[in-house]
Structure 1
Amino acid sequence: MTEKPRRFDPSASSLAGEVDPAVMEELLSVRGSIDNIDATLVYLLAERFKATQRVGHLKAEHKLPPADPDREAAQITRLRALAEEANLDPAFAEKFLNFIISEVIRHHQDISQNHVARDA
């Protein structure tokens, strides 16, 4: 039997009862903002992956390689600059984008293989 996923409890904290209630209230408020940002990130990533899926299909239809190293390098340079402007660690931004790029390439490889198999 599979376990039912638990509903998200925004007030869940191992600090409850150990921290002054006013501090806990402020902590929960800031965490609420973080939760909203996280939700936005998930939906933005979903939209990004929808767009990259379209790119993957275009590449497969036109027999283009799944990876585009020049494009990826340009994206990393751009994202590092944006991170600096936003006071975010550019190395973190690069690691984050590299993870996304590796997933996109994997998806593009899958799309390409399925396209070839379909045409065979």
Structure 2
Amino acid sequence: VAKLESYGVAAAYLQSDITDVSRHEETVTGVLSRFGRVDCLVSNASMAVVPGDFLDLVPADFDKTIAMDLRGTVFFTLAVVKAMLVRSAADVPRSIINITSVSHEASSPERADYCISKAELAAFYQAVAFR
């Protein structure tokens, strides 16, 4: 943030629990109250995955990965995109930078849940790009 501000760019770093979808609007509202609009979202939420045989994958671990790496990211992005479309000036470019993983293309049996979430996230961001 300091580096961006040194170039005269207004920026903020916000940390929150992306799995708590009920707080997404609150976060976006905070950004809007500070800056008036959203021009850019850097989406890089993820969690460390403990490698293991996919045959040993249990629903609780799968759900935790999907909640963080897919569900939370999708719904936070939707909240931000809606704010971008409503509050941004027509002449201001808007961007979403999605930092994900090569695991969406190069799957691994030791991290199946993670790879699944990243493949689905890549497909989601392709759909967002068309919008």
Between structure 1 and structure 2, the one with the greater Rg is 1
For CA contacts below 8 A with separation 6 or more, give which structure has more relative contact order: 2
TM-score calculated relative to the size of structure 1: 0.36
- Name the structure with the higher helix share: 1
- Name the structure with the higher strand share: 2
TM-score calculated relative to the size of structure 2: 0.34
